[in-house]
């Protein structure tokens, strides 16, 4: 099965009537997505909460020596102060209860385990949305009839991977978001929509963390608008657009904390 070509969604079937699942790891954007879907009366049939226990343990081991160098420690401390200074979403979702937004919640230590497949089948999930999760396995993707949609805080395929908001600022490129289907590769699935941030965003966004949250919120609103208006979420030839170049594809990994700090101040001092 080619994971980049799922079954086509019947344009005559209202998208909001499909059985929807949300994959999340408990981050703020997953909570915002659930809140907004409920506000517009889009029912979520299943929430799969990935506690990411094994992933977090291996991640800690692999980057521990990298983070604990003296300069990186100082840089991370400064970034933590700068990024959290103006973050309002953390307070808004402080007492968030998943049970208020979905009756069926599955907690797993690894979202790719067999239990996830069983729940997807039991609830006849037809389409899924990622609200923060690890890389999804091929076996899980195959279980979702119309595919799994990801919201990415960068322009694909130019900025694939991690810390893409930082890398976009470092490269002095256009900020935006991408709504796309996932496949077994990282940020390489079929693109549904691309959005760009307006030029005057710096007038009301004070930190890069807040900027990333804003991009993710805009991507959620873009997706919800498409569902409400029953717009086509099938595969589109996005590369016909002059602003997207299929051959201009780069994968980015974690940015060094010192470079992050430089990028942060580059962001603050650059003109609106």
Q: Which residues of the chain have pLDDT under 70?
A: 1-12, 53-71, 73, 81-91, 200, 202-204, 232-247, 269-272
Catalytic residue status for 6: no
Each domain of the chain, given as residue ranges in start order, spans 15-151+176-240
Distance CA 266, CA 272 (A): 12
Output phi, psi for 62, to 5 deg.
-75, -25
pTM of the model: 0.85
CATH of domain 15-151+176-240: 3.40.50.170
Instruction: State the pLDDT at residue 175.
Output: 93
Pairing of strands 44-50, 105-108: parallel
For residue range 42-76, list pLDDT tens digits in order. Answer: 999 999 999 876 555 555 545 554 555 666 767 77
Q: Sort strands 176-181 and 148-152 into parallel, antiparallel or unpaired.
A: antiparallel
Given the residues 152, 180, 200, 247, select the one marked as catalytic. 152
User: What is the residue-averaged pLDDT of the chain?
Assistant: 81
User: Coil, strand or helix: which one is 12?
Assistant: coil
């Amino acid at each position: 099965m080619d994971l980049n070509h799922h079954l086509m969604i019947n344009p005559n079937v209202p998208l909001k009537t499909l059985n929807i699942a949300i994959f999340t790891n408990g981050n703020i954007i997953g909570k915002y997505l659930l809140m907004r879907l409920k506000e517009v009366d889009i029912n979520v049939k299943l929430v799969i909460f990935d506690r990411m226990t094994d992933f977090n343990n291996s991640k800690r081991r692999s980057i521990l020596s990298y983070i604990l160098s003296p300069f990186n420690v100082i840089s991370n401390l400064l970034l933590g102060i700068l990024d959290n200074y103006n973050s309002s979403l953390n307070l808004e979702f402080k007492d968030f209860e998943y049970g208020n937004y979905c009756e069926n919640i599955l907690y797993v230590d690894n979202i790719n385990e067999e239990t996830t497949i069983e729940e997807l089948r039991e609830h006849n999930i037809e389409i899924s949305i990622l609200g923060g999760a690890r890389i999804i396995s091929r076996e899980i993707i195959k279980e979702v009839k119309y595919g799994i949609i990801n919201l990415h805080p960068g322009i694909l395929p130019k900025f694939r991977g991690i810390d893409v908001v930082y890398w976009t600022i470092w490269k002095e490129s256009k900020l935006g978001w991408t709504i796309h289907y996932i496949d077994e590769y990282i940020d390489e699935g079929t693109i549904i929509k691309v959005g760009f941030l307006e030029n005057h965003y710096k007038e009301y966004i004070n930190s890069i963390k807040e900027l990333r949250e804003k991009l993710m919120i805009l991507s959620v609103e873009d997706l919800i608008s498409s569902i409400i208006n029953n717009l086509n979420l099938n595969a589109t030839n996005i590369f016909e657009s002059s602003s997207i170049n299929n051959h201009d594809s780069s994968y980015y990994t974690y940015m060094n904390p010192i470079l992050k700090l430089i990028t942060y101040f580059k962001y603050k001092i650059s003109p609106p």
